Structure 1
Amino acid sequence: MFIRQKFRTKNGKRHAYWALVESYRTERGPRQRVVSWLGKLDEEGRLGVGQLASETKFPFVSDPIKGQVQLSLLEEPKPRYVKVNAKAVRVENCRQFGAPWIALKLIEKLNLKSLFDRLIPAGREAVPWSSTVLLLLIARFCEPSSELYIAEQWLPKTALPTLLGVPQERVDDNRLYRGLDQLLPHKDAIEMHLKERLGELFEIEFDLLLYDVTSTFFEGQAAANPKAQRGYSRDKRSDCKQVCIGLVVTRCGMPLGYKVFSGNTADVTTVEEIVETMESRYGTAGRLWVMDRGMVSEDNIQFLRDGGRRYIIGTPKSMLRKFEAELLKKDWNSVRDGLEVKLCRRDDLGKGELFVVCRSADRRRKDEAILRRSEEKIETRLKTMTTRCTKQKRDVQKVEREIGKLLGQNTRASRLFEVQVKERDSGGAEIIWSKVKNNTDWATLSAGCYLLRTNVQDWSDEELWKAYTQLSEAEAAFRIHKTDLQLRPIWHQKEDRVDAHLLVCFLSYVMWKTLGGFCEQAGLGSEPRRVVDELSEIRSMDVVLPTQEGIEIRQACIAHPSEHQTILLERLGLDLPKRIRQTEM
């Protein structure tokens, strides 16, 4: 560091001021920045500050990725002793530090920064695109919102510009949108990198792949996106266009890859494409695919067989009826309290396949409660409609439509009733209805039961059931995407921007699961929500120390963590820096 004279013209006169300046290195060469404005100094003051600046040395770190030496962002400066006016000490620029810092640590653990630097090399832009992408990921992880909110509201309240070395005034919503455009072309390379890195960090086995599909809806017409279509909405927003997302995760829930489909795509039609995509990247050896009953079709099963692939798949409820005799037998294998399974072979239904009949007490109570509510709704409504038709001459077709709507809204119990609408001799509709005993008995017998089919011959019924239940990891992934990371709704209208938005959400979920994995290794459970909420309370601030010489010393400090925060950091093996030195690009 050194002092430099600066000049300013005021009221037609030229005034001289002194500033404390330091040099630093960037990707485009050395730069200089003002550390502190010193005002007017006499010769003695200049000599004192100059001597102090020459004696103050800052540590340097070697960056093996870029092959050059850069200034360290986080550092422990050597003690400096000056006379301070204690009454005038103040704190400024209190900002969020904990959550962005944790997110940046996760990015470093995943080697994403070096990956982005390699995939998106810096050019002449003021803010490197790799830093823009990191900003998008961290914002999605910490406080998901629109690009406009991130640039104008969230970013100025955080220490992220300092951590990334990004000038805050150079970040706006347009730059963030263009950052999405820079990220999207590298989707496949990023997924392959993450597969290898996650395997190294957590010793993940990729033998069991779980596949499920969800949907997310748009706000707006999304006319420029051909994938935005109306279809079956898992979000109960059939009034909006949507896209479907197929996600592949490992048995521990770590995401392996995903694919975006048109909103009107049926789940069953996505299987071949996603399986071939994953196999083209990661090979076919030792893969066991687990899918729910929405993916089942004879064509898909034949496709899996022809490729020599192993699978465990749920089956439609209608297929369970063919195992009615097995449900009545007593030879069940108890896996745990309230859960029983049974292994069956039926060559007439599938050659070389095994079927696992499962019966859950908890699921039985749930099914019976849902069925009972639907049954009561239908029965009460039918009684009311029958009485009304007796007292009034109602149109037959109108009554038929009302009954059709009633049964359609209560599909669980619709098969328990047989309903006919006839026209009376005196005119008007007459409703004749009754309960179907066989269907009622079957509903009672099959409550809480479900059926699996597989071509895995060397596993027990318990092992097959446990593998299938891992699908809950894929469901949990969608739940976190839609709640914590706010995947929905989508406000982007163009196809590429939508795909890039989904990629940012996917990468943020990888960071989420990575933190969850570290928490599990540290004995903190596998749910990182509490950890993020607790550490996000840590703040950074500028402590301003006015000296007796009239010079203000500004130190960017980090609040001392609480006892609980200290324990979390120790368990996670993280060292919170005490100070952070402001960095400019």
Structure 2
Amino acid sequence: MFVQVTQCKHGSATYFTYLVRESFRTPKGPRSRTICNITALPPETRELISQSLQGRSFVAAESLQLTEAWNCGGLVVLHQAWEEFGWRAIFDFVADARRAGLLKAMILGRILFPSAKMALVDHARGTLLAAACGLDQASEDFDEDDLYASMDQLNEHWVGIEKQLYQKSFPQGVSLVLYDLTSVYFEGNGPSKISPYGHSRDHRSDRPQVLLVVATDAQGLPLHLEVLRGNRGDTTTLQGLLSTLRRRFGIREAVFVFDGGMSSKVNLEAMDELKLKYVTRLGASKLEELLASLPAEQSPELWDRTQVMEIVREGKRYVIAGGSWRQQRDQQRRQARLSKAENELKRLAAVQRKKVNPQKLASQVGRALQRLKAHKYFDYAVDPNGQLQWSRRTEVIQAEKIRDGLYLLGTNATPEQIPSTGVLSHYKNLLEVEDAFCHLKDYLRVRPVFHWRPDRVRNHVRICFLAYWLSAKLERQWRQKDQTIEVHNLLRQLQAIRLGRLEVQGKPFKTMVSQVPKDLNEILNKLGLLPLFSQPPTWAPGVCSK
């Protein structure tokens, strides 16, 4: 049987008739007959009859219940990327399937809800993290001791993991290596062997720390990570990195880009001996020396700051670059320092002292100016009566204005190998590594570190490194589709998509994915991710559909 709808017109009015009809066979062929006319019934009732005749089942709304719902959108994308990138094979060395799953959980959790290991169970509650990692969704407790034992599996296997990642990502090798380092501090004393006090990039000189060294390709995809003692000088880290990259990955010919902290004479000579090309930033003193040697017709005041200038001195190649934005930034920074310094000088001069000590006051002034990074801008003196007098060094300020926005790059590559504009673009790529460190330390929350064992400190950082690698790989794919949204932001927004389980009269009926938010629908479509949410993931617990 079926519902037949007929339409007829009388003048300007249109009338619809709804008939329940039955098909049957006769010796002369198929025929149909009217069973009843349901036109007078409400539209909802007519639709219910029509759907029932098509074989669909209906239940009372009161018997339908949503028994479970899990946040899962970001996990769906990460699980699909995990499989696509072949990461399942990376942890084949872990014999225990649960420990391999816990390693995966810590990596995915570091992207979606970075936190201490102890808090992972709280953040995982209400999500499909356990199921996405091949763990039992109902019973997995993410015990802290089990997480640490799983982290320990990385010991003695990290070199193999890095080699696998390198081979999967760079089958043709790399031609450009970007290198940078940063520091990460500890809460508490930290492991004594690797966490001394040192120069803190986080402005936490009161905390012990370690150094993180990372090398990436031109697009910011990481190649190598190392954890070093926190009091090592920047210049002492480069040659060890070169040795590791050559031995572990077979990198023999590449251009290495690094910042001024690593560009010591010894390091540059070592790279020349290894016949490796480099691009590095050099210090302000070298820039001043080169500018002073230029003829008057090449004075910086006459330059187009949007262009680069190449200078060759004593067989060495230099590129001077800059821009209006950097020039404006340097001017604002200097003006702010001058203003703060003069306010501090006025304050110190106005203090009423019971006992005049010119030497002590001069010492206070010097320390204050050093703290405000303005010592070079002022001449100051304290007379025997304790009166503080100061004046600006106008010649120093004027000379610095000429250099505003300029910075100096050095390279041992020939113009045929790397043109001047290429030198600049390689160095700008290094800024992406610095951004990577910001991501690594901020949104992955590498810092602060609470571990007490050196191997667990390293493994904690390695978990963060793997999480960043996964994010960077996704970001590269999305850039190829002209999408520049930050990976971690989108993944965390996608967690609002939920997987729900419906029951009818206490029995499982259907597992459904909630609707994709409208503001994310277009982005997911452009990224080709929308089909992932057309049906429940196959790895979700108890997936069933009707």
TM-score range normalised by the length of the shorter chain: 0.7 to 0.9
Per-residue displacement from partner, 1:233-276 (whole Å, max 9, x unpaired)? 11121221111101111111111111111111221111111111
Deviations 1:523-559 (Å, cap 9, x if unpaired)? Answer: 222632453244222101211112xxxx612433322
Q: Does 1:131 align with 2:90?
A: no
* Aligned position for 1:61: none
| 8 Å contact from structure 2 (residues 305, 321) kept in 1 | no
**1:519 shift after superposition:** 1.3
Aligned ranges 1:153-552 → 2 under 5 Å? 153-168=122-137, 169-170=139-140, 171-199=142-170, 206-222=174-190, 224-325=191-292, 329=296, 338-347=305-314, 352-386=315-349, 388=351, 393-411=355-373, 413-422=374-383, 424=384, 428-458=385-415, 459-525=418-484, 527-546=486-505, 552=507
Structure 1: distance between partners of 2:181 and 2:58 = 65
Q: Distance in 1 between matches of 2:258 and 2:130?
A: 43
Deviation at 1:474, TM superposition (A): 0.6
CA contact (8 A) 2:451 2:457 kept: yes
Separation in structure 2 between the aligned mates of residue 455 and residue 255 of structure 1, nearest angstrom:
24
1:492–1:498 Cα contact (<8 Å) kept: yes
Deviation at 1:502, TM superposition (A): 0.4
Give 1:94's aligned residue.
Answer: 69
> In the superposition, relative to structure 1, how do residues 387 and 176 fare at CA in structure 2: closer, same or farther (>3 Å)?
closer
How big is each residue's C-alpha offset from its partner over 1:186-214, in whole Å with a ceiling of 9 and x where there is no partner? 221111211222236xxx86211111111
Deviation at 1:162, TM superposition (A): 2.6
Q: Supply the AA of the counterpart residue of 1:114.
A: A
**Alpha-carbon distance change, 313 to 86 in structure 1, aligned in 2, over 3 angstroms:** same
Which of 512, 518, 527 is equivalent to 1:572? Answer: 527
Q: RMSD of the alignment, in Å?
A: 2.7
Q: Secondary structure at the match of 1:251?
A: coil
CA contact (8 A) 2:258 2:281 kept: yes
Find the aligned partners of 2:98 and 2:348 in 1 and give their Cα distance: 69
Does 1:149 pair with 2:119? Answer: yes
1:490 shift after superposition: 1.2
Describe the shift of the 1:215–1:486 C-alpha distance in structure 2 as closer, same or farther (beyond 3 A). Answer: same
Distance 1:357 1:236 in 2: 30
Larger Rg computed on CA atoms:
2
Taking a change above 3 Å as real, the CA distance of residues 491 and 384 of structure 1, as seen in their structure-2 partners, is closer
Distance 1:290 1:192 in 2: 21
CA distance in 2, matches of 1:101, 1:330: 62
The secondary structure found in structure 1 opposite 2:503 is strand
CA distance in 2, matches of 1:167, 1:225: 38
Secondary structure at 1:216 match in 2: strand
CA distance in 2, matches of 1:407, 1:566: 54
Gap change, CA 1:473 and 1:274, over 3 Å in 2: same
Alpha-carbon shift at residue 521 of structure 1 (Å)? 2.1
Match for residue 87 of structure 2?
Answer: 112
Percent identity between matched residues is 25
1:480 counterpart letter in structure 2: H
Structure 2 unaligned regions, length at least 5: 1-54
Query: Do the aligned partners of 2:72 and 2:498 also contact (CA within 8 Å) in 1?
Result: yes
Report SS of the residue matched to 2:510.
strand
Distance (Å, rounded) in 1 between the aligned partners of 2:486 and 2:410 = 32
Report the 3-state secondary structure (helix = DSSP H, G, I; strand = E; otherwise coil) of the residue aligned with 2:397: helix
Distance 1:383 1:569 in 2: 58
1:121 aligned to 2:95?
yes
Q: Counterparts of 2:278 and 2:100 in 1: how far apart (Å)?
A: 40
Q: CA deviation at 1:438?
A: 3.2
Question: Which of 498, 512, 533 lines up with 1:557 in the alignment?
Answer: 512
CA 1:198–1:330 in structure 2 vs 1: closer, same or farther (change >3 Å)? farther
Q: Secondary structure in 2 aligned to 1:105?
A: helix
| Matched residue type, 2:306 | L
What residue number does 2:29 align with?
none
* Residue range with higher mean Cα deviation, 190-199 or 138-147: 190-199
Asked whether the 8 Å contact 1:184–1:503 carries over to 2, the reply is no
The TM-score normalised by the length of structure 2 is: 0.81
Distance 2:408 2:317 in 1: 10
Residue 11 (structure 2) aligns with: none
Q: 1:18-29, aligned counterparts within 5 Å?
A: none
What is the aligned partner in structure 1 of residue 32 from structure 2? none
Q: Against the structure 1 CA distance between its residues 327 and 372, is the aligned structure 2 distance closer, same or farther, given a 3 Å change threshold? A: farther
Give the gaps of 5 or more residues in structure 1.
1-79
Instruction: Identify the residue that residue 71 of structure 1 maps to in structure 2.
Output: none
Structure 1 contact 344–355 (Cα < 8 Å) conserved? yes
Whether the 8 Å contact between 1:209 and 1:249 is mirrored in structure 2 is yes
- Cα pair distance change 1:417/1:562, threshold 3 Å: closer
Distance in 1 separating the partners of 2:524 and 2:496: 13
* Contact residue 312 and residue 455 of structure 1 kept, 8 A: yes
The SS at the match of 1:258 is strand
Deviations 1:488-525 (A, max 9, x none): 11122221111111001111011111111221122222
The answer to whether the 8 A contact 2:501-2:512 is kept is yes
Q: Which amino acid aligns with 2:211?
A: C
SS in 2 for 1:345: strand
Does structure 1 conserve the Cα–Cα contact (< 8 Å) formed by 2:70 and 2:127?
yes
CA displacement at 1:106 relative to structure 2: 1.7
Shift of 1:409: 1.1
In 2, Cα distance between the equivalents of 1:566 and 1:383?
59
Please say which of residues 207-216 and 274-283 is displaced more in the overlay: 274-283
Work out the CA distance in 2 between the residues paired with 1:323 and 1:254. Answer: 35
Change (3 A) 1:568 1:370: closer
Taking a change above 3 Å as real, the CA distance of residues 329 and 104 of structure 1, as seen in their structure-2 partners, is: farther
Distance 1:385 1:166, change over 3 A: closer
Counterpart-to-counterpart distance in 2, 1:381 and 1:83 = 79
Indicate conservation of the 8 Å contact 2:174/2:251, yes or no: no
Give the 3-state SS of the residue equivalent to 2:308 in structure 1. Answer: strand
Q: Distance in 1 between matches of 2:300 and 2:370?
A: 37
Deviation at 1:81, TM superposition (A): 7.3
- Determine helix, strand or coil for the equivalent of 1:128: helix
Deviates more, 1:164-173 or 1:565-574: 565-574
**Aligned mates of 2:498, 2:290 — CA distance in 1:** 61
Are residues 511 and 364 of structure 1, via their aligned partners in 2, closer, same or farther at CA, if it must alter by over 3 Å? same
Cα distance in 1 for residues equivalent to 2:288 and 2:463: 44
Aligned-pair CA distance for 1:566:
4.3
Paired residues of 2:112 and 2:492 also in contact (CA < 8 A)? no
Mark the CA change 1:490 to 1:523 in structure 2 (over 3 Å): closer, same or farther: same
